[in-house]
């Protein structure tokens, strides 16, 4: 009997839950466990999670994975994490959290951001001079929505001054897991990005910029040292090894935030090859050779796991999160769709329902801005809406409209991506939980007008990416090996028969934003 090859224990910590997988150096996901994570929505646009719950879920998933795959689990030589980005945790001198994790959805720091970085002339309420410096050095700028760590840290400084004084370091979600694993306090080149304090002009030498740090309003000693995503940052502490059921000799590779890991897990390594991630949030991303920024549409190429490249990223704030909201707040626990979701059969049930509903959802249009938007417009005041509902519309119409609305928003985002690349995207690799739906995959192909290549086991893409980053970090693989290790499950071509319908739907969608944007901003001023 041949020996089991070395395994990477790969983490995918998203907003909805912790996922843990065993990933071989051939890119194959051998085992998979998941644990839901509670989302705490608070007044004033707050969104938090409890870091200890992440760690508890990490241990629970590891125990189940070890029980199901004991031989492979004993072959783990490396741990590597992929996590949601743009979260912020204040950590004390003993390495303990002083706050919950302030998530990428949290908008409470928007006013603090404007107060600290305001000035005239202004861009999105922030000093134009500062904005120009950020774009030149970092490739981007703080979001006026307050959803970045730059705003989170200012909110802690201003609203929780006693906590700020006790803070030894601010860590992102990825950085916190690495602290628990190794005892080391570090940030990766991508986790630190949205603190907007780094000089990113040389992808192989990302470093703090003294002027940006001094102007950030945050003490320099509260920012962690920066490492590359593929750096080995240490081995498991005795406590972490016991918690996970592993040896203290297991190495920890720094890892990456979700969109960086997804680009590796999708196999889109070559410049200009793009993937579409469809999860709680959504994004289009692809590696490019140079740093570049589209300020108007909120798209930039930023540091990533490959030291000679950047990652173009265009982020849609909420995708399947719209479905989660409908499930939790409208449909109700006794509904068959909710029961199907609990059993993991939601998309199976949706795929039986949606083909009977024509393209265009019998006139219903959905606006998927349930928690504001990031690209191609950065506007925290936008909100979701179902438009043009009549007594003749059915449950199926509404569900298809939600799927189509998210796809229409993705098409809206794809247009500036094409301009950014200098050529139209002809195909997208599809990954993420939403890729489990055959109907949604075809809707995306039809609405976007591009071929959709659905990656095999799309839910595992982030964990696969973390596993492959771990293998690169320990020298078991080179980046050039990655494309051959990621397989395509099926291909969905656009249906020319519905092109005209979706072209018109898209025109109406963009017009709805133009007309309703001022209306949403007026409502937002009242709350």
Task: Chunk the chain into consecutive blocks of 10 residues (it has 527) and report each block's average pLDDT, rounded to whole numbers.
Answer: 82 93 91 92 94 98 97 96 96 97 94 93 88 92 91 98 98 98 98 96 95 97 98 98 98 95 94 91 92 87 92 85 75 62 72 93 94 75 91 92 95 94 95 93 97 94 95 94 94 97 97 90 79
| Sign, CA torsion 234/236/237/238 | negative
Phi, psi for residue 184 in degrees, rounded to 5: -95, 145
**CATH code for residues 322-458+488-525:** 3.30.420.40
Q: CA 445, 449, 453 angle in degrees (round to 5)? A: 40
Contacts of 88 (CB under 8 A, 6+ apart): 101, 102, 149, 152, 153, 156, 170, 171, 172
Position 121 scores a pLDDT of 92
Confidence (pLDDT) at 63: 97
This prediction has a pTM of: 0.89
Q: Over the Cα atoms of the chain, what is R_g?
A: 22
**Contact by Cβ (8 Å): 21, 469:** no
- Confidence (pLDDT) at 1: 42
Domain extents for the chain?
A: 322-458+488-525
């Amino acid at each position: 009997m041949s020996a089991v090859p070395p395994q990477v224990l790969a983490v995918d910590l998203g907003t909805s839950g912790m996922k843990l997988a065993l990933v071989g150096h051939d890119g194959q996901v051998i085992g998979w466990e998941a644990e839901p994570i509670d989302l705490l929505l608070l007044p004033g646009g707050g969104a938090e999670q409890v870091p200890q719950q992440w760690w508890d879920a990490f241990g629970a998933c590891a125990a189940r994975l070890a029980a199901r795959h004991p031989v492979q689990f004993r072959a783990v030589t490396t741990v590597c994490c992929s996590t949601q980005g743009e979260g912020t945790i204040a950590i004390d001198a003993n390495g303990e959290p002083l706050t919950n994790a302030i998530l990428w959805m949290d908008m409470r720091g928007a006013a603090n951001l404007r107060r600290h970085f305001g000035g005239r002339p202004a861009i999105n309420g922030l000093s134009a001079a500062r904005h120009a410096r950020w774009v030149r050095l970092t490739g981007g700028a703080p979001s006026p929505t307050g959803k970045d760590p730059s705003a989170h840290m200012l909110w802690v400084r201003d609203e929780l001054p006693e906590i700020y004084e006790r803070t030894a370091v601010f860590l992102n979600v990825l950085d916190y897991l690495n602290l628990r694993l190794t005892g080391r306090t570090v940030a990766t080149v991508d986790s630190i990005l949205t603190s907007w304090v780094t000089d990113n002009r040389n992808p192989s030498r990302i470093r703090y910029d003294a002027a940006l740090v001094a102007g950030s309003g945050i003490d320099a000693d509260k920012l962690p040292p920066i490492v590359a995503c593929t750096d080995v940052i240490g081995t498991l502490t005795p406590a972490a090894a016991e918690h996970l059921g592993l040896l203290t000799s297991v190495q920890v590779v720094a890892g990456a935030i979700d969109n960086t890991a997804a680009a590796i897990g999708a196999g889109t390594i070559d410049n200009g090859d793009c993937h579409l991630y469809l999860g709680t949030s959504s994004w289009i991303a692809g590696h490019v050779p140079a740093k570049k920024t589209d300020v108007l549409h909120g798209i930039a190429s930023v540091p990533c796991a490959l030291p000679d490249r950047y990652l173009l990223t265009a982020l849609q704030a909420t995708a399947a999160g719209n479905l989660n909201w409908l499930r939790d707040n409208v449909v109700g626990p006794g509904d068959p769709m909710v029961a199907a979701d609990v059993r993991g059969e939601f998309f199976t049930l949706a795929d039986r329902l949606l083909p009977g509903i024509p393209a265009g959802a019998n006139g219903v249009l959905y606006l998927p801005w349930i928690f504001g938007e990031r690209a191609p417009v950065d506007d925290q005041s936008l909100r979701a809406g179902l438009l043009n509902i009549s007594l003749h519309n059915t449950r199926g119409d509404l569900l298809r409209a939600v799927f189509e609305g998210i796809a229409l928003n993705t098409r809206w985002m794809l247009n500036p991506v094409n301009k950014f690349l200098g050529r139209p995207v002809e195909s997208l690799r599809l990954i993420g939980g939403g890729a489990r739906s055959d109907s949604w995959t075809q809707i995306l192909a039809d609405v976007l007008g591009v071929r959709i290549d659905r990656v095999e086991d799309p839910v595992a893409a982030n964990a696969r990416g973390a596993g492959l980053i771990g293998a690169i970090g320990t020298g078991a693989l080179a980046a050039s090996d990655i494309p051959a290790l990621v397989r395509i499950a099926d291909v969905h071509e656009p249906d020319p028969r519905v092109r005209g319908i979706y072209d018109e739907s898209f025109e109406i969608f963009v017009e709805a934003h133009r007309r309703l944007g001022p209306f949403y901003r007026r409502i937002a001023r009242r709350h």
